[in-house]
Amino acid sequence: MHINKNVHIIDYVPYESDNQYSAVFYEMDGKKYCTVKGSLEKVMMFSEESDLYKKQNLELTNKGYRVIALANGEVSGTSAGSIKNLKFTGMVAFIDPI
């Protein structure tokens, strides 16, 4: 497994149910990036919206899956306000029984 030693974690936003997302800010090759995970609705606020993603999310949740969406990209700062224009990476669906 290759680990990029040029990646440095700068800051993070911990998951809180009120926010419905968590984020990590990191620096790589002199640029700042952010990766976000959370509810599809919240992640799409930071990235592009898509009816296809919404449809897939609905299909998966109707089948009983829990869905987490992911997005990442270059950012200008390391605060929640700087999280925008990220690239939607995808969704992870899993079973989360009570």
Helix (H, G, I), strand (E, B) or coil at 13: strand
Distance CA 23, CA 92 (A): 16
Q: What is the largest CA-CA distance in the chain?
A: 43
Given this model, what pLDDT does residue 4 score? Answer: 67
Only one residue has tokens 């599809």, namely 40
**Residue-level pLDDT at 1:** 47
> Higher pLDDT residue, 3 or 64?
64
Query: What integer is the mean pLDDT of 38-57?
Result: 94
Give CA 74 to chain center in angstroms: 13
CB 47 within 8 A of CB 30: no
3-state SS class at 61: helix
